[in-house]
Structure 1
Amino acid sequence: MASSVEWNGDVRIPSLQAAYRSGLSLVTVVTKLHERISHYKTTDRAVWIRLQTLGSLIGEAEALEAKYSDLDHLPPLYGIPFSIKDSIDIAGLPTTTGLSGFPPLSRTPTSSAPVYDSLIAAGALFVGKTNMDQLATGMTGCRSPYGIPHSVFSAYHIAGGSSSGSAVSVGARLVSFSIGSDTAGSIRLPAAFNGVVGFKPTRGMISARGITPACLSLDCVGVLAGDVDDARRVWEVVRGYDELDPYAKPPSTYRDYSTPLSSDDATVSFTFGIPPPDVSAFSACSPIYLKLFSATVQALQRAGGSCRQVTAAEWHPFEAAGALLYDGTFVSERLASLPDDWLAANSHHLHPTIRAVFEAVVARQSTAVQAYRDLQAKAAYTRQAEHVFQTVDVVVVPTAPTQWTIAEVLDDPVRKNSALGVFSHCANVLDLCAVAVPAGTYPVPRQGGDDDEGGRGVLPFGITLMSGGRMDEKLLDIARRYENVRKTIDETGANSPP
């Protein structure tokens, strides 16, 4: 369909929706978007594992235009371009999970994951499958045979993982949103390292069927988007009970038990908790992260929040639950979805770091007694955390302790990876909802002699807000309140680091 309406390049959902209602052609958008994606390959060739051809995109665009000719009655995600992590099934397309050609982890499914079907039914436009840390085992983005994506802010710094390509595709404005998975922070960390929003809802509120398991009892499907509102729009489309997903929240407990806040009413207060200053997680933070986190507390107060520093005893369940994920027996679940003889027969095909991680898990020889003790500890920590959320609406932390260069991670891949999760692991073990939100930038020296006018670049800083299970609505309200204040800070230059 020919159109005289020009596209301004804005991929935010409301902007595209308004443009479509004004007569902007989907063919125009996908053609320009394909040009943008092709150009970005000169900057980073490791974003995609499978990309739709221009012909396929135009065909899908024309089919959508023919199906929805009434511009006043368009589906909620009509013509909105999205990417999806390559551990999520799409019928007829290979699902590699970062490992090509080795079933059951790599396969060509005959049916799609429900999350994908929901997006297509809402009119969304699939662009491609994104790169990821192999087998969704990693938080750096440096563990893929398809290359190492880098942050949209710096060619030398990690993109984060395991939903690495998904975050870059959103941060580089190649798509409006992406669907990824989060088992230990795999949506939130790459969101922080690419300056976008990463939302991990309460587990089981989005179907995890049709997704390669990492740790099946902890895996959570989530959304990466340019801002909180866009993440929420996508979540409202894909959320819902799937009776075929054994970990789905049943309808009787699915409704949101929180009292939503008015995102624009600064007179409605909320309470946010922060960890005590002497916790070990803060000692891992870079000095600039600590400074920016302090500025974040002030911004949350400007957004109507009342700050309460939780006690060491109250923070303990968060810290202890996070340690269970890799220091305890839970890591053994990464092997539970594999046939018994799969690792021995295929370990030589794995990325070297992934192979080392899996072999270390086998070498532990964890017992059922140890596993049950960890499950009992998880239940105790979850109950203790529930008490904290009776006194605060959200707990706020830095999303990560720092953002390393790719070279630093490759030099020490296991320890650097593990250290990144000090603030993120607990949300999965305690089944919290969490959203990572951009919280400013800070200057860094340019790498490799690549100087600009000031000889310095910038990297993003991000925070994560966490709340109790099924408190997603209130969490997103508070995140949007903070985001609005953050925009004002960015526009005025207030609270910018030197």
Structure 2
Amino acid sequence: MTSKTPLRRSAASLGSCRTLTDWQQLYTTQGASLVDALAPFLDLDTADPAWIARLDAARLRSQLDMLAARVEQAGGKLDAFPLYGVPFVVKDNIDVAGWPTTAACPAFAYMAQRDAGAVARLRAAGAIVVAKANLDQFATGLVGVRSPYGAVPNTFDAAYVSGGSSSGSASSVARGWVPFSLGTDTAGSGRIPAAFNNIVGLKPTRGWLSSAGVVPACRTLDCVCVFALTVDDAALVAEIAGGFDHDDPYSRTYPQSAPAVLAPSPVLGIPDQLAFFGDTQAQANFEQALVDLQATGAKLVPIDFSPFAELAALLYQGPWVAERFLAVSQLHASQPEAIDPVVRVIVEEAGRYSATDAFSAEYRRAALARAIHLALATVDALVVPSAPSIYTLAAVQDDPIRLNARLGTYTNFTNLADLSALALPAGAREDGLPAGITLIAPAWSDRALARFGRQWQAAQALPLGATGRACPVGAQRATPDTPGSVRLAVVGAHLSGMPLNHQLLTRHAGFVEACRTARCYRLYALADTIPPKPGLVHVGTGQGAPIEVELWDVPLASFGAFVAQIPAPLGIGKLLLEDGRQVTGFICEPRGLEGARDITAFGGWRAYFASANASAT
């Protein structure tokens, strides 16, 4: 990559800036107590506009007692709690039992009796809620200023907006207070704040994370989203928080046919028409990001952006605004003055639309969504600027609706078209403010986008949030098994670049790592196989040697068809790896060794194949 403008150093880097791994090690290797580690959250600044409700001694004790009971039920095994003692922040339109939910409107406030579905899963994994975060009232806005609790400033320059509506959730992560937070994303509220604060925003497929216990903005479109300092952490939190919930009528099950990874050299679509509204710095940043993407091996192709743009406009210039009004209709009838003036102007637009208008717009939405899916079928993902520009607080105050609408240029269409999205840091503009890119793909591409996002973040090597801490690329956790996939060890013709590797790629399998088997296998070049194939045979400890293999995650729905193509004498069994892991992998029946050549000394099929080709020439 070329030299880039450094991000501004922020005076707001107040927290400990621990990633999930750091928090886990704090308890497991450093022996910290929960009380000592979490005590600083009892002193959150009451004047900080990022928070609406804060941890107090009673709320901390209640959560620690609940966690202690769960640990006791698990026989004291902390490894059953992947988020043991990890603090997180929840946007204040998401219920946390025993905490008030305000949606940034005091007149609307109520005491939550139970956790929202996603919160319940995270607390069951050991996480501790330390604050409820400020937001654009009723999640209506992309700026982070429409709240009686105050505007949340950008963490790099307080003169600029933080992005919304999940402003407090993003700010708490960007400043290093917590490793992750929950927000919501209906029109971009999980992506704009991520871009403006140099953090990761994972907007999942609608229905993966339960929206039960969420004050709706547009209930048919709302998503609970995850902010984190790293893609690694965002992806893990989403896996823990996600899952089918009977209490959410819009909940869906992650399909076993979902892709595990993008293509090794993905084809990424870019809009054929890009709007930056005169912001040349935002344009230059995105153009540099495209150069960086190409440096990773991605191929960029323009696609017709007109259906995306038309669908984006429908969200606020169509009857979906009536869904927003529905959420506040009772309050509007009794206390309209309690609603933020700008929010009230927006939701009152609902009166312009009839039921006929709603059906007409839905028909158009379906047609545009079909055009979008056809366009995305020609690429692995779409890449867009997360936002076309960034504005000062003063500018937004002077022109609140028009500038807010501009920020949704590359976000508003996503949920209407049932797409997944991942917002990633993309370095600094010339003025030192952060900017970002967003990868967008069809529903249930979340894990594939996260896999690519890890590679992007490692290549960019940007500091974490507004803290100045270097991205701990070398300390990233090992790639976990992809849920809904089989981790498969391949040893021969299915290796990367080999003749049968396409059988994995066409089934959306994802490369994980290269490694070696334990010293209990021998490798043979089988006779009369086309294309040439090896056979891996277990011979017992001390009688073999470590053999090079590759691990791939194969979607469960595709695994049976893949196995059906394997010819005798090869088969699938269990392999022992050098580090003690046991994985599914290729094995060979002893009868297949007739006429075979022992090639164990080469250490793997690739080395043998290269030697054989060299000899032939």
Cα deviation for residue 65 of structure 1 reads 5.9
Mapped to 2, the partners of 1:418 and 1:97 lie a distance apart of: 21
Contact 1:83 1:169 in 2 (8 A): yes
> For each residue in 1:11-63, what CA deviation from the matched residue of structure 2 results, as whole angstroms up to 9, or x when unmatched?
2001211222112222232124555x43xx6xx72010000025643664576
- Aligned position for 1:259: 259
Contact 2:42 2:55 in 1 (8 A): no
Mapped to 1, the partners of 2:42 and 2:16 lie a distance apart of: 12
- Aligned position for 1:287: 280
Matching of residue 162 in structure 1 with residue 165 in structure 2: yes
* Structure 2, unpaired ranges of 5+: 1-14, 465-469, 472-617
Mapped to 2, the partners of 1:54 and 1:157 lie a distance apart of: 34
Cα deviation for residue 345 of structure 1 reads 2.6
Which protein is richer in helix relative to its size? 1
- Aligned position for 1:333: 323
Mapped to 2, the partners of 1:74 and 1:342 lie a distance apart of: 43
Matching of residue 409 in structure 1 with residue 396 in structure 2: yes
Task: Please report the TM-score for the alignment, with normalisation by the length of structure 1.
Answer: 0.85
**Structure 1's 34 and 175: CA in aligned 2 closer, same or farther, altered over 3 A?**
farther
Cα deviation for residue 307 of structure 1 reads 1.3
Contact 2:137 2:146 in 1 (8 A): yes
Mapped to 2, the partners of 1:147 and 1:316 lie a distance apart of: 37
Matching of residue 75 in structure 1 with residue 65 in structure 2: no
SS of corresponding position for 1:73: helix
Which one of the candidate residues 11, 15, 25 is aligned to 2:33? 25
Which one of the candidate residues 367, 373, 380 is aligned to 2:354? 367
Question: Which amino acid in 1 is paired with 2:343?
Answer: I
Q: Greater Rg, structure 1 or structure 2?
A: 2
- Aligned position for 2:246: 243
> For each residue in 1:200-220, what CA deviation from the matched residue of structure 2 results, as whole angstroms up to 9, or x when unmatched?
100001110111010111111
Question: Which amino acid in 2 is paired with 1:317?
Answer: P
Cα deviation for residue 64 of structure 1 reads 4.0
Mapped to 2, the partners of 1:110 and 1:75 lie a distance apart of: 24
Contact 1:21 1:71 in 2 (8 A): no
**Structure 1's 61 and 11: CA in aligned 2 closer, same or farther, altered over 3 A?**
farther
Matching of residue 229 in structure 1 with residue 237 in structure 2: no
Contact 2:71 2:78 in 1 (8 A): no
Matching of residue 399 in structure 1 with residue 406 in structure 2: no
SS of corresponding position for 1:224: strand
Cα deviation for residue 179 of structure 1 reads 0.7
Matching of residue 308 in structure 1 with residue 301 in structure 2: yes
Matching of residue 390 in structure 1 with residue 383 in structure 2: no
- Aligned position for 2:449: 475
Mapped to 1, the partners of 2:406 and 2:247 lie a distance apart of: 35
* Structure 1, unpaired ranges of 5+: 1-7, 445-457, 493-498
SS of corresponding position for 2:371: helix
Which one of the candidate residues 257, 260, 268 is aligned to 1:272? 268
> For each residue in 1:164-199, what CA deviation from the matched residue of structure 2 results, as whole angstroms up to 9, or x when unmatched?
100001111111111111110011111111111111
SS of corresponding position for 1:101: helix
Cα deviation for residue 72 of structure 1 reads 5.8
Which protein is richer in strand relative to its size? 2
- Aligned position for 1:438: 425
Matching of residue 13 in structure 1 with residue 20 in structure 2: yes
Tell which deviates more after alignment, 379-388 or 170-179.
Answer: 379-388
Mapped to 2, the partners of 1:270 and 1:423 lie a distance apart of: 21
Between the aligned residues of both structures, percent identity stands at 37
Cα deviation for residue 227 of structure 1 reads 1.1
SS of corresponding position for 1:476: helix
Matching of residue 426 in structure 1 with residue 413 in structure 2: yes
- Aligned position for 1:495: none
Matching of residue 459 in structure 1 with residue 466 in structure 2: no
Contact 2:104 2:135 in 1 (8 A): yes
- Aligned position for 1:449: none
SS of corresponding position for 1:436: strand
Mapped to 2, the partners of 1:283 and 1:10 lie a distance apart of: 33
Which one of the candidate residues 96, 100, 105 is aligned to 2:106? 100
Contact 2:105 2:137 in 1 (8 A): yes
SS of corresponding position for 1:79: coil
Structure number with higher relative contact order (C-alpha < 8 Å, ≥ 6 residues apart):
1
Contact 2:206 2:418 in 1 (8 A): yes
Mapped to 1, the partners of 2:23 and 2:437 lie a distance apart of: 28
Mapped to 2, the partners of 1:196 and 1:14 lie a distance apart of: 17
Contact 1:94 1:109 in 2 (8 A): yes
Which one of the candidate residues 119, 125, 129 is aligned to 1:116? 119
**Structure 1's 470 and 51: CA in aligned 2 closer, same or farther, altered over 3 A?**
same
- Aligned position for 1:318: 308
> For each residue in 1:100-142, what CA deviation from the matched residue of structure 2 results, as whole angstroms up to 9, or x when unmatched?
133xxx3223222111111110000110100011111111011
Question: Which amino acid in 2 is paired with 1:228?
Answer: V
Cα deviation for residue 346 of structure 1 reads 1.6
- Aligned position for 1:84: 90
Mapped to 1, the partners of 2:234 and 2:378 lie a distance apart of: 27
Question: Which amino acid in 2 is paired with 1:350?
Answer: I
